[in-house]
């Protein structure tokens, strides 16, 4: 069995009924030569809780513990039967009916039995073609699912950075990957810029990170002080100390915002000034670039989704689990 076939098998397990799980367990024990024993009460309870896709059961349980109307946020709701294997509720305030997925990125997404498998592909960080092969779905389906699952993580950013805040820019090649009408010659497997150094072929991404590992990023239209200020001003606390390189844009922003600022003269070899440095944000930049290489280039118009995906991985300690990926997708 190939690795892709094995992952398809794992993805399909979440859709098995209790009798099918029991039969699969018996087949595995028989293959290994292990005596078949009656299932324990715990195993039976687990199987009973999986009458539908386990991911749906978990989502519905979390939502059902404290259901809120997605339209008016009222907690005055009542159960209202079920439809499409999902429990429904009715709001007593606005009379709207809804389920646990209404108003979320996962609403009306088909093939729920494969969601756990798709969440695992996000945890594994594999390409769309490998996702399509693993789950046995069309490439366009894998694409739509990926961006549905990344919609909430893309929008999840810290509201404020405080304490010592390190800021730096990193750069990605401008890419029209997937577009049917390219405005330039195609590059193979990511490719390289035709010009040395910074140019209009590269897209600047501002990364700001405090010592509590809260990370904000923003794709900049250009490297001007105006663009940098628009990205940093909403998220940096007035009591923060901004640490950056000595670029004039950072100095102008800090002066205008009234922030304490520690500029480092990197061209002169100044990497540390007392307790201040930008090694944390530089390390994050390095991890981000290394993680992105597996995709052989990302279309610029979808770059913010991948930045959000990497932030989710970073918040999880560098290794995103399937359950965390699914919870993040649900929002």
Task: Name residue, tokens 């109307």.
Answer: 69
Strands lying side by side in the sheet with 260-264: 215-219, 202-210, 164-173, 241-245, 260-264
Q: What is the pTM of this model?
A: 0.80
Q: Same domain, yes or no, for 185 and 301?
A: yes
DSSP 147-171: HHHTHHHHH---S-B-SEEEEEEEE
Q: Same domain, yes or no, for 79 and 182?
A: no
Task: Name residue, tokens 């498998």.
Answer: 117
pLDDT of residue 196: 63
Contact 243, 277 (CB under 8 A): yes
Q: Same domain, yes or no, for 89 and 172?
A: no
CATH code for the domain of 202: 3.30.420
End-of-domain residue from the set 72, 103, 134: 103
DSSP 185-217: ---STT---SSSSS-TTEEEEEEEEETT--EEE
**In this structure, is residue 245 part of a structural domain?**
yes
DSSP 234-289: TTB-TT-EEEEES-HHHHHHHHHHT-EEEEE-GGGT--EETTEESHHHHHHHHHHH
Q: Residue 157 corresponds to which tokens in the numbers above?
A: 């950013």
Q: How many CB atoms lie within 10 A of CB 119?
A: 25
Q: Same domain, yes or no, for 91 and 205?
A: no
Q: Same domain, yes or no, for 96 and 166?
A: no
Residue 321: C-alpha distances to residues 9, 122, 129, 214 (Å): 18, 8, 21, 20
End-of-domain residue from the set 55, 80, 103: 103
pLDDT of residue 24: 72
**In this structure, is residue 266 part of a structural domain?**
yes
**Domain range for residue 74?**
63-103
Contact 285, 168 (CB under 8 A): yes
Q: How many CB atoms lie within 10 A of CB 66?
A: 8
Q: Same domain, yes or no, for 164 and 304?
A: yes
- Taking only the tens of pLDDT, the chain with its 331 residues reads 766 666 566 655 554 544 456 667 766 766 676 554 444 443 333 333 333 334 688 899 989 999 999 999 999 999 999 999 999 999 999 999 999 999 999 999 999 999 999 999 999 999 999 999 999 999 999 999 999 999 999 999 999 999 999 999 999 999 888 887 877 777 776 677 776 667 778 999 999 999 999 999 999 998 888 999 999 999 999 999 999 999 999 999 999 999 999 999 998 999 999 999 999 999 999 999 999 999 988 999 999 999 999 999 999 888 888 988 999 999 7
**In this structure, is residue 196 part of a structural domain?**
yes
Q: Same domain, yes or no, for 99 and 172?
A: no
**Domain total in the chain:** 2
Q: Residue 179 corresponds to which tokens in the numbers above?
A: 């577009």
**In this structure, is residue 93 part of a structural domain?**
yes
pLDDT of residue 179: 81
pLDDT of residue 29: 66
**In this structure, is residue 215 part of a structural domain?**
yes
**In this structure, is residue 143 part of a structural domain?**
no
Contact 99, 69 (CB under 8 A): no
Residues in the chain, overall count: 331
pLDDT of residue 42: 37
Q: Same domain, yes or no, for 170 and 268?
A: yes
* Vertex 207: Cα angle to 251 and 219 (nearest 5): 100
Q: Same domain, yes or no, for 87 and 211?
A: no
Q: CB burial class (10 A; 0-12, 13-18, 19+) of residue 78?
A: exposed
Q: Same domain, yes or no, for 165 and 244?
A: yes
**In this structure, is residue 180 part of a structural domain?**
yes
Please report the sign of the dihedral spanned by the C-alpha atoms of residue 189, residue 117, residue 329, residue 69.
positive
**In this structure, is residue 82 part of a structural domain?**
yes
Report CA dihedral (27, 31, 34, 39) to the nearest 10 degrees. Answer: -10
Minimal CA–CA distance to 244: which of 169, 167, 170? 167
Q: Same domain, yes or no, for 85 and 191?
A: no
Q: Same domain, yes or no, for 98 and 165?
A: no
């Amino acid at each position: 069995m190939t690795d892709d076939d094995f992952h398809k098998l794992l993805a399909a397990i979440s859709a098995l009924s209790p009798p099918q799980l029991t039969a699969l367990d018996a087949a595995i024990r028989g293959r290994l030569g292990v005596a078949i024993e009656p299932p324990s009460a715990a195993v039976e309870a687990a199987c009973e809780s999986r009458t539908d896709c386990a991911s749906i059961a978990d989502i519905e349980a979390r939502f059902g513990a404290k259901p809120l109307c997605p339209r008016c946020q009222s907690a005055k709701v009542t159960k209202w039967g079920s439809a499409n294997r999902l429990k429904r509720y009715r709001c007593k305030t606005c009379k709207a009916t809804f389920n646990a997925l209404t108003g979320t990125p996962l609403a009306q997404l088909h093939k729920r039995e494969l969601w756990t498998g798709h969440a695992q592909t996000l945890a594994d960080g594999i390409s769309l073609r490998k996702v399509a092969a693993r789950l046995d779905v069309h490439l366009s389906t894998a694409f739509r699912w990926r961006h549905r699952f990344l919609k909430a993580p893309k929008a999840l950013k810290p509201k404020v950075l405080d304490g010592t805040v390190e800021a730096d820019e990193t750069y990605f090649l401008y890419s029209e990957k997937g577009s049917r009408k390219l405005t330039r010659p195609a590059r193979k497997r990511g490719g390289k810029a035709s010009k040395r150094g910074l140019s209009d072929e590269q897209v600047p991404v501002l990364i700001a990170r405090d010592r509590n590992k809260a990370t904000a990023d923003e794709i900049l239209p250009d490297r001007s002080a105006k663009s940098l200020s628009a990205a940093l001003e909403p998220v940096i606390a007035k009591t923060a100390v901004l640490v950056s390189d000595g670029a004039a844009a950072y100095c102008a922003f800090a002066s205008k915002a009234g922030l304490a600022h520690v500029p480092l003269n990197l061209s002169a070899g100044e990497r540390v000034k007392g307790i201040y440095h930008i090694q944390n944000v530089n390390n994050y930049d390095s991890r981000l670039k290394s993680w992105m290489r597996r995709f052989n280039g990302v279309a610029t118009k979808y770059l913010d989704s991948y930045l959000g995906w990497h932030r989710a991985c970073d918040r999880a300690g560098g290794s995103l689990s399937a359950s965390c990926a699914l919870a993040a997708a649900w929002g």
